[in-house]
Amino acid sequence: MLQSSGYANAAPEPTANFPDTADHWAQPFIEALAERNIVTGYLDGTYRPNRPVNRDEFAAVLRQAFHQNQERRIASGSVYKDVQAGYWAASAIEEAYEAGFMHGYPGGYFKPQQPVSRVEVLVSLTQNLNLKKSTPQATTQPAKSQRATKLFFFPLAMTSLMQPMVAAKAAKTAPQPPASVVVSNYYTDADKIPQYAVDNVAAATQAALVVNYPNTRILNPNKNATRGDIAAFVHQALVNQGRLEPLQSTRPASNYIVGRSIDR
């Protein structure tokens, strides 16, 4: 008998009105995704935003949220030994694998009921979404105070001679800081990010995917991702793709989008 899950026991009709999210920090992210049936609640009408998310549940959310091209195809049967054909999330796991979002473990195992960490979610979302750097919501460095700049005036003849120099300077592209510098500038616990994920976290940060509650400077990369975390990350990925409107700055939850509160 298949074990039940939050998504297997989801309510048959989508709703964005969950009694247990009214005062939750992730409420607007959850609401936006629930309205599009990307996330759903339980049969008792609750959403349980603080509940950890397993790998099979995350695969189900990816299936609902994104429609990516296949990077690889499963020839026949299940690619994982611990995901049987009749498993409730088998097709979602298969699609997540084929799209390059998720990978298995050595020995041919997926571990569907293992909780997914926050950093694993960010790595997954940066695999093949072609994320765009977001301005001003995310920058490579926190904003710094600017010193007053003295203005200099030059004769008209001199300014005309300087135009080629100005154009040449503008044409140069500023070098991009290393990923390790990006994450160190934003997160006080950057040293906790697994080495394999540093580039992905930097990309997610620059694309304004990262949402940290209650402190934007603390990533908690290895903490189990909750249903609220998943909704926030996926919401921001859809915003980056232009498929959702950005959260209005008047919503308190916008203060937890990394980069946005720093750049204000």
pLDDT digits over 178-218, tens only? 999 999 999 999 999 999 999 999 999 999 999 999 999 99
Which two tokens mark 49?
A: 């935003």
Alpha helices by DSSP H, listed for the chain, are 27-35, 55-65, 90-98, 118-125, 156-171, 179-186, 198-206, 227-240, 260-263
Residue 156: is its pLDDT beyond 50?
no
Residue 44: is its pLDDT beyond 80?
yes
Three-class DSSP category at 117: strand
Instruction: Provide the 10 A C-beta neighbour count for residue 52.
Output: 16
Q: Could you read off the pLDDT of 164-179 as tens digits, one per residue?
A: 444 444 445 567 789 9
Q: Could you read off the pLDDT of 100-118 as tens digits, one per residue?
A: 999 999 999 999 999 999 9
Instruction: Give the chain's end-to-end CA distance (angstroms, integer).
Output: 52
Give the closest residue to 179 by CA, choosing from 162, 145, 144, 203. 203
Question: DSSP string spanning 201-225?
Answer: HHHHHHTT--B-SS-TT---TTSBP
Which residue is associated with the tokens 């977001």? 134
Mean pLDDT of the chain: 82
Q: Are 247 and 254 in contact (CB under 8 A)?
A: yes
Q: For the whole model, what pTM was predicted?
A: 0.80
Q: Are 211 and 29 in contact (CB under 8 A)?
A: yes
Residues 6+ apart with CB under 8 A from 97: 72, 74, 79, 103, 104
- Please state, for a pLDDT cut of 70, what percent of the chain lies above it: 73
